Structure 1
Amino acid sequence: MDQDLRHPSLDITGTLSTELKGHCVALGVTASASIYRALDTARGLMRRGADVRVLLTKEASRLISPTLFEWATGHRAIVEVGGEIEHVSLARDCSGLLVAPATYSTLAKIAYGIVDNPVALTAITMLGYGKRVSVVPAMHEGMERSPQYGEIEARLRSQGVLVIPPRIAEGAAKYPDPYLVARVFTSFVLRGLDLKGLRVLVTAGATRSWIDRVRFVTNPSSGRMGVETAIEAFARGASVDLVHGHVNVEIPHFIKSYPVETTEEMADKIKELTSGQTYDIVVGAAAPLDFRVREPSQGKLKSDGTYTITLEPSPKTLHSIVKRPKVLISFAADVVNGDEELLASALEKASKYGADLVVANPVNVGSYGFASVYDYTVIVRASSGSYVSLGLQRKEIIARRLLDEALALLRSRSPST
């Protein structure tokens, strides 16, 4: 294509976010039945602002035409490394490499330094340059469970490779949702494994209190903020536990989750988890009910009757923490008039729970917040009373900034973290 002409496929660049603006990322594609999903992954990265360069193994190019990837990204796909030594150029100029899908064969080659295909060659060169490399394994379930593959994966992890686990279904290790893959890889490119070795507990979603057998009291929380925080922590190398009530967003298969229904159950699960270990970071992003029905009916209330429902206080879930984490984060959603009231509400919540950081957001402004992809937030530092206003942002961006704050606090208390 004439170098003076802009490829039409580039028009989608940055339409979701500009997180990866200025970043070149390489996408390595190997020969899997899920190969077609790499096209959506490439486009997903572009929508986040990335300049995507694709390279395929010869076997992959027999399953899907490299021309399709040129159409998808606006750049010629690389199938062979020639005199232009493309692997060096990509390793030097790109911020990271995502191998998706990644076959058993190519994963083994990356792990053990065998460079007989352009994807493995580029991955090894990128690791040598200290760049980010992530893989999405795709193979039969039996191969994925084999001790040989276990050794390969452990070796890759020890080399700093982020493994985005496949979704096991129908006897195969399948490619996850391309949107999710792009979302995880974006955080990895931007932050690396800066949370590696840390244990993070996150709560998410709404709890319920039953009125009778078919009706309950709840709130409109979708759980998105907590789930996004769990994904962000995973992408940056943390070991993550997620305790969640009712959520309206999908919880990734690679997040260890504990579903609960009531506020009491959430408090009990938090108590159980924090009894056996000390978490580095606890993020209380859930919206547990502050009140519960005192005497729920054991049957179904007749629709033509008039009833009085008595509510009583529910336990405070963060008060059930047994071993205090190094950093405790609570949320304060409140009806306020201006930032001064919002800040006061956050500091009150910090005092109430002994929180180190409080994420404050007004629930009476705009159509964002509960059940929205966006929120208006202020992160308040309890010890100093200082704060950073994020304004209106996507919740995944809020999660990233929140964990940045938590990590900075950890490092200030323990420089070796």
Structure 2
Amino acid sequence: TAYDIGLGIPAEPLFRSAGTLKGQQLMITGGPTPVWVDHVRLFTNRFTGALAIEIAKQAWVEGAAIQLILGQGSLPAPSYLPHQRVVDFSSYRQKVLSGLDDGAVGTAIFSAAVADYQPSQVYPGKLPSGQQLTLSFEQTPKVIREVRATHPKLNMVTFKYEENRTHRELMAIARERSKEYQLVVANRGEEFIEYGDQVAWLVENNKPEEQVISKPAIAKAVLERVASWL
């Protein structure tokens, strides 16, 4: 899951270079993936896709071919970036899995704030108001696990966001996950409050973790790791 609080989006980049990612195809996901309660209401979260857009902008400037997938409620992406919007978790999952089918994508960066739970049953129509309501939830399928199972050679960057965890606990979670994925970008809500900007820890298996502060710096650091794998 992933993690951004807002970013101004310029209409056009300054330039595009034959840079470190020229010829590479990247899938980048961002924003929330809502789940439906009934045909009118849905559950979502506060994340905006700003970090995904920043990563996509920098990757585009470095020459990469971009497949940017943004959830409903995300900030607008610049018009020069190829992107698609998905309305809910189910369409997000379908778009990710189908977008990787042809094997052209070499690296996928999963910064979307994906729903962990969904109502066990979606009410047909609109739930009546003015009464007490109890909902049952079930876990959603873990998309990154499905991707890893079907694409074992794909370079994958995954994100882990936590609150009410210590830094040591977060690093333990990220270290364990880094055994399955090339890079884990981990952060805590408490650090945003402390620093006044987005803070991330880049965790790669058998390497020391790296602290990065601000969305542009996080995007740059992530893409430097991606370029190092090529």
Equivalent residue for 1:268, pick from 88, 94, 118? 94
Aligned partner of 2:227 in structure 1 is 407
Tell me how far 1:258 sits from its aligned partner: 2.3
Superposition map of 1:302-381 within 5 A: 302-321=128-147, 322-351=150-179, 354-367=180-193, 374-381=197-204
Aligned partner of 1:300 in structure 2 is 126
| TM-score, normalised by the number of residues in structure 1 | 0.49
Q: 1:289 to 1:320 in 2, by over 3 A?
A: same
Q: 1:193 to 1:253 in 2, by over 3 A?
A: same
Structure having the higher helix fraction is 1
Note the alpha carbon deviations across 1:118-175, whole angstroms, 9 max, x for none. xxxxxxxxxxxxxxxxxxxxxxxxxxxxxxxxxxxxxxxxxxxxxxxxxxxxxxxxxx
Q: 1:247 to 1:404 in 2, by over 3 A?
A: farther
Q: 1:248 to 1:268 in 2, by over 3 A?
A: closer
The answer as to whether partners of 1:202 and 1:283 remain within 8 angstroms in 2 is yes
Aligned partner of 2:3 in structure 1 is none
Structure with higher RCO (Cα < 8 A, 6+ apart): 2
| TM-score, normalised by the number of residues in structure 2 | 0.86
Q: 1:317 to 1:326 in 2, by over 3 A?
A: closer
- Does 2:31 correspond to 1:205? yes
The 3-state SS of whatever aligns with 1:185 is: coil
- Name stretches of at least 5 consecutive residues in structure 1 with no aligned partner: 1-176, 412-417
Q: 1:337 to 1:320 in 2, by over 3 A?
A: closer
Of structures 1 and 2, the larger Rg is shown by: 1
Aligned partner of 2:6 in structure 1 is none
Q: Give the partner amino acid of 2:24.
A: L
Q: Give the partner amino acid of 2:170.
A: L
Distance in structure 1 (CA, Å) of the matches to 2:225 and 2:161: 19
Distance in structure 2 (CA, Å) of the matches to 1:211 and 1:340: 36
- Name stretches of at least 5 consecutive residues in structure 2 with no aligned partner: 1-8
* Count of residues in Structure 1 that have an aligned counterpart in Structure 2: 220
RMSD over aligned CA atoms reads 2.3
State the identity %: 23
Distance in structure 2 (CA, Å) of the matches to 1:270 and 1:180: 26
Distance in structure 2 (CA, Å) of the matches to 1:194 and 1:340: 33
- Does 2:8 correspond to 1:185? no
Tell me how far 1:323 sits from its aligned partner: 3.0
Instruction: Select between 208-217 and 335-344 the one with higher mean Cα deviation.
Output: 335-344
The answer as to whether partners of 1:263 and 1:315 remain within 8 angstroms in 2 is no
